[in-house]
Chain A
Amino acid sequence: GAGVSQSPSNKVTEKGKDVELRCDPISGHTALYWYRQRLGQGLEFLIYFQGNSAPDKSGLPSDRFSAERTGESVSTLTIQRTQQEDSAVYLCASSFRLAGGSAGELFFGEGSRLTVL
């Protein structure tokens, strides 16, 4: 499809295990974002990739969280040694950075729901 694709849509894991969440942005979108949304709460920014610039990792809650992006394509969010408080929906978004750096709209995926038992 033409939208942002995330996988898996649902993941149940045991405390202490590592998980990887994948995001396929819209083709041609140079910017990619990861957000987290706990049940009944707002979105928390995690990390932002823009082209070949160094990612903005200021939102990552701990060193158990990391993310990579290959060029301007797929991104993977990795959570090591998962804890119950990591349970949330992890949302990925991408955007096309307009000429002059102006803000463009973000297109969000449907999210990956992570449940840590």
Chain B
Amino acid sequence: DAKTTQPTSMDCAEGRAANLPCNHSTISGNEYVYWYRQIHSQGPQYIIHGLKNNETNEMASLIITEDRKSSTLILPHATLRDTAVYYCIVIQYNAGNMLTFGGGTRLMVKP
């Protein structure tokens, strides 16, 4: 699976949009981009995933560049409860969901 690179940490003001970048320059055509987050002392939680089109759900939006070498997770109106470590994962279509979690981005939402 392709390797991902994320900033170690980010801050965001409460009520503002949080934009979390992820680089995956070696992504191949059958690899999906997945985002999970882990709030302190809890198990990871699925957020969203996509292949090449932008995706939106009730939690977030995922913007994937046309060349698919990077993506951005957008939390449109961050709240204090969104403080967590956010993981960007790239995985093959038929890999059996064996996710490999890197270091992720520690997002701190501040009042």
Contacts and interface: CB of A to CB of B under 8 A. Distances in A.
A91 interface: yes
A110 B43 contact: yes
A109 B96 contact: no
B62 to A, nearest CB: 13
Interface stretch (A12-20, A65-73, A99-107): A99-107
A42 B101 contact: yes
A43 interface: yes
Given A42-B104, A45-B100, A56-B98, A111 B43 contact: yes
Interface of B: 32, 34, 36, 42-46, 49, 87, 91-104
B107 to A, nearest CB: 15
Given A110-B43, A111-B43, A102 B96 contact: no
Interface residues of A, number: 26
A26 B101 CA distance: 22
Nearest to B93: A102
Contact of B103 (A42, A95, A100): A42
Contacts of A107: 46
Interface of A: 4, 31, 33, 35, 42-43, 45, 48, 50, 56, 91, 93, 95, 97, 100-111
B103 A101 contact: no
Contact of B93 (A33, A103, A105): A103
- For B36, B43, B100, the residue with the greatest tally of chain A CB atoms inside 10 Å of its CB is B43
Contact of A106 (B32, B44, B93, B102): B44
Given A42-B104, A103-B91, A108 B97 contact: no
A103 B97 contact: yes
B42 A95 contact: no
Contacts of B94: 100-102
Contacts of B93: 101-103
A24 to B, nearest CB: 14
Contacts of B96: 31, 48, 50, 56, 97, 101, 103
B49 to A, nearest CB: 7
